[in-house]
Structure 1
Amino acid sequence: MPPISILVFDIFGTVVDWHGSIVREVQAVYPQVDADAFARAWRERYQPAMQRVRSGEIGWTRLDELHRGMLEDILPRFGLEHLDEAERAHLNRVWHRLNPWPDSVAGLARLKSRFTICSLSNGNIGLLTNMAKRGGLPWDCVLSAEVFHAYKPDPRVYLGAAGVFDVSPAEVMMVAAHQDDLAAARDCGLATAYIERPMEFGAAHIKDVSPDPANTYHARDLLDLANQLGC
């Protein structure tokens, strides 16, 4: 097998804490809202919204626009239907302002010393770039489903990443906190590394992070992955 040279990363939940970031911002601005339930309700619409694109029900639509549609769906449930356009637009861009997990920046910096590292997220390029700028994420390259006009787990995303760097899929490793993402990457010939993020959905909703022997690596966090990879 050729050596791994490229690490591509899922972002939401793997590199950044989407739940905690949304909860903190909603609590600060709308203290009357159950911020935990709000964050989870918004995220629950993520896969169904992308499935509309995957199925061909709607044409290619960036995640920013999908997030806005999901937001419009849940605002009445949480008593926020009174928000004006500026407030809605600002709240929708919370996804651009997600905070990295405590280990992410240092872990990525170490991994970058040996590998080319890049995002491979369903988030659009503008969203990922703004997030990286704000959070200090040291990507060599920002790749997004937007580049391929296909949402993971479509093979075009994983194979497209290998194509961007003109390497075989076996030279690329997908790093994610979601086993379904990794399984789809493996089906395309990529190596896989699972990152434990038990708090992805908040302290009240601890996630199962049991190892899957099909993965190439299983790590507690990105610093642990750097240790395992000799970085």
Structure 2
Amino acid sequence: MATPGKEIKILAFDVFGTVVDWHGRIAREVDALGLGVDGAEFALAWRAGYKPAMQRVMTGELGWTKVDDLHRMILEDILRRFGVTALDDAQKRHLNLVWHRLDPWPDAVQGIARLKRRFTVCTLSNGNIGLLTAIAKHGGLPWDCILSAEVFKAYKPAPATYLGVAEVFDVAPGEVMLVAAHQDDLAAARGCGLKTAYIERPLEYGAARVNDVSPDPANTFHARDLLDLADQLGA
């Protein structure tokens, strides 16, 4: 019997939502500030601004802008929308860096460590390199390499990001597998010839907005979490 995923050499991981719990950490920190707003709703609003902000870069309205700076732009907007006026610039900067302090899902560190025994494991995130490095340091994430949209000067789902991973490691696209909790990301990767592994993260948006984690047969693998993926890949 063939080993599953035998042709795969590189596992490229989406990070926000797939590897780390952005919603839980941001909600807790906002609640702890005592700003009189609901931390869970604030976290959702902050994340909701992410794709529109990236779109402004992709359409050329903004020049290349790293995600740390996009997060700060979105933060200024949602502070106004939520009527928060009590934070000074240093406090806003600290709050913006909550994205650097995101905690891994409980299976993430062990799952990545197991997968690393058999594959090269790297990030493929729209987050900038400094941000991804801080997250890895904070959570003990054992990446072999940190790749970012910043390297390719293009945000996912641009083909340059997915194909860029293959180019970096000098492998064929079919020897790279994107690991992600988002079907649109995975579909774009498949369109570039990558293999895909869907990871169930039903609580990415919090308990009040549970994700549909139904399988898509187009994916190469479907896993409950990263430990399950390691089991399926024999790692």
**Residue 19 of structure 2 aligns with which residue?**
15
- Which whole-Å CA distance do the structure 1 matches of 2:191 and 2:119 have between them? 22
**Residue 126 of structure 1 aligns with which residue?**
130
Note the residue ranges of structure 2 that are not aligned, 5 or more in a row: none
**Residue 69 of structure 1 aligns with which residue?**
73
Report SS of the residue matched to 1:89.
helix
Report SS of the residue matched to 1:227.
helix
Give the TM-score taking structure 1 as reference length: 0.98
**Corresponding letter in the other structure for 1:223:** L
Question: Which stretch has the larger CA shift, 20-29 or 164-173?
Answer: 20-29
Query: How much identity, in percent, do the aligned residues show?
Result: 71
Task: Name which of 121, 126, 133 aligns with 1:117.
Answer: 121
Alignment of 1:1-231 (within 5 A): 3-30=7-34, 32-231=36-235
1:174–1:185 contact (8 Å) kept in structure 2: yes
Deviation digits for residues 97-154 of structure 1 (CA, Å, limit 9, x no counterpart): 0000000000000000100000000000000001100100000000000000000000
CA spacing shift, 1:177–1:186, aligned 2, 3 Å? same
Report SS of the residue matched to 1:75.
helix
What is the root-mean-square deviation of aligned Cα atoms in Å? 1.1
Give the TM-score taking structure 2 as reference length: 0.96
Deviation (angstroms), 1:32: 2.2
Deviation (angstroms), 1:156: 0.3
1:124–1:145 contact (8 Å) kept in structure 2: yes
Note the residue ranges of structure 1 that are not aligned, 5 or more in a row: none
Deviation (angstroms), 1:2: 7.4
Report SS of the residue matched to 2:20.
coil
- Which whole-Å CA distance do the structure 1 matches of 2:164 and 2:56 have between them? 21
Report SS of the residue matched to 2:147.
strand
1:2–1:170 contact (8 Å) kept in structure 2: no
Report SS of the residue matched to 1:218.
strand
**Corresponding letter in the other structure for 2:22:** W
Deviation (angstroms), 1:25: 1.1
Report SS of the residue matched to 1:137.
coil
Report SS of the residue matched to 1:117.
strand
1:2–1:171 contact (8 Å) kept in structure 2: no
Deviation (angstroms), 1:82: 2.7
CA spacing shift, 1:2–1:227, aligned 2, 3 Å? closer
- Which whole-Å CA distance do the structure 1 matches of 2:215 and 2:202 have between them? 12
- Which whole-Å CA distance do the structure 2 matches of 1:112 and 1:31 have between them? 42
2:159–2:188 contact (8 Å) kept in structure 1: yes
Report SS of the residue matched to 1:199.
coil
Report SS of the residue matched to 2:157.
coil
- Which whole-Å CA distance do the structure 1 matches of 2:124 and 2:79 have between them? 29
- Which whole-Å CA distance do the structure 2 matches of 1:84 and 1:102 have between them? 34
Report SS of the residue matched to 2:155.
coil
